[in-house]
Homo-oligomer: A and B are copies of this chain.
Amino acid sequence: MTLAPAPVFRMALRVYWEDTDAAGIVFYANFLKFFERARTEWLRTKGYSQEQLRTERGTGFIVTDASISYRRPARLDDLIDVTVALTRVGQASLQIAQQALRIVPDGTNELLADGTIRIGCVELGTYRPRRIPTEILQSIQ
A68 surroundings in chain B (CB, below 8 A): 65-67
Identify the A interface with B (CB < 8 A). Answer: 14, 16-18, 20-25, 27-30, 32-33, 36-37, 40-41, 49-52, 54, 60, 62-70, 72-73, 75-77, 124, 127
The DSSP consensus for interface residues of chain A is: mixed
- Asked if B17 contacts A23 (CB within 8 A), the reply is yes
C-alpha gap A75/B21 in the complex (Å): 11
Complex-state Cα separation, A73 to B124, whole angstroms: 11
Q: CA A44 – CA B42 in complex, angstroms?
A: 28
A37 CB contacts on chain B under 8 angstroms: 14, 16, 18
Q: How far is the CA of A60 from the CA of B28 in the complex (A)?
A: 14
